[in-house]
């Protein structure tokens, strides 16, 4: 099974200045609905992997984070866009966990639970650690210019380069689908 892993803040929803700590501030980007529909129509798993250190910092209780994720899934589903799973790392950067991007714990867990072939999968995100995490997990990567993507592009490490740069999540998914080796007539773009 192939998957497209998606960062949350700045990729699916509009990034907040600090952290997304309330349901009222959840603003899903218009392109995300079509992008996630395309993912599922083309038989990829759509899986969110997101660092949420606001939990570890005491700025957000885990039950509220789960409620935010439930609300996001519900809003997407209202427009026939479905996520297969959401994985999150609640730890602060200094805790040394194995799940926080750019480490690969969330990807490995998803691969086990969904029988995903990571080498045939992709990561879409707006931060350098999204791209690095994808590379570390053996995925092809796409940097989106939404959220922090424009800033990430300015300061990108010479060592870490995405496979593609897209203006938004929808164009990222379209590029992924066009880069697949199977016949274009099997794709829905």
Tell me the per-residue pLDDT of 31-49, one tens digit each, with 9 for 90 and over.
999 999 999 999 999 999 9
Question: Which residue of the set 9, 84, 126, 130 is catalytic?
Answer: 9
**Residue 8 burial (CB count, 10 A):** 24
Please tell me the predicted confidence (pLDDT) of residue 172. Answer: 99
pLDDT surpasses 70 at 77:
yes
Provide the pLDDT confidence category of residue 153 given band limits of 50, 70 and 90: confident
Q: Is the pLDDT of residue 52 over 80?
A: yes
b (16+ CB within 10 A) / e for 130-142: bbbbbbbbebbbb
For the chain, the domains span: 3-186
Question: Around Cβ 25, how many Cβ atoms within 10 Å?
Answer: 13
- Does residue 130 carry a catalytic annotation? no
State yes or no: is 7 an active-site residue: yes
C-alpha closest to that of 83 among 173, 4, 176, 166: 4
What pLDDT score does 160 carry? Answer: 76
Vertex 116 angle, CA 113 and 118, to 5°: 125
| Residue 124: CB atoms within 10 Å | 30
Domain 3-186 listed as CATH 3.40.50.1000 = yes
Residue with the bigger pLDDT between 112 and 151: it is: 112
Q: Which of 7, 84, 126, 130 is catalytic?
A: 7
């Amino acid at each position: 099974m192939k998957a497209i892993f998606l960062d949350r803040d700045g990729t699916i929803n509009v990034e907040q200045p600090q952290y997304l700590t309330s349901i009222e501030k959840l603003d899903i980007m218009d392109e995300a609905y079509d992008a996630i529909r395309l993912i599922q129509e083309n038989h990829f798993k759509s899986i969110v992997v997101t660092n949420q250190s606001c939990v570890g910092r005491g700025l957000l209780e885990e039950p509220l984070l789960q409620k935010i994720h439930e609300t996001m899934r519900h809003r997407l589903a209202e427009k026939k866009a479905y996520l297969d799973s959401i994985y999150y790392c609640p730890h602060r950067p200094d805790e040394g966990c194995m799940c926080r991007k750019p480490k690969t714990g969330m990807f490995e867990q998803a691969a086990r639970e969904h029988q995903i072939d990571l080498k045939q999968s992709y990561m879409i995100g707006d931060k350098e650690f999204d791209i690095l995490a994808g590379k570390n997990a053996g995925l092809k990567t796409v940097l989106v210019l939404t959220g922090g993507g424009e800033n990430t592009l300015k300061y990108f490490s010479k060592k870490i380069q995405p496979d593609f740069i897209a203006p938004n999540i929808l164009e990222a998914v379209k590029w992924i689908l066009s880069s697949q080796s199977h016949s274009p007539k099997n794709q829905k773009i």
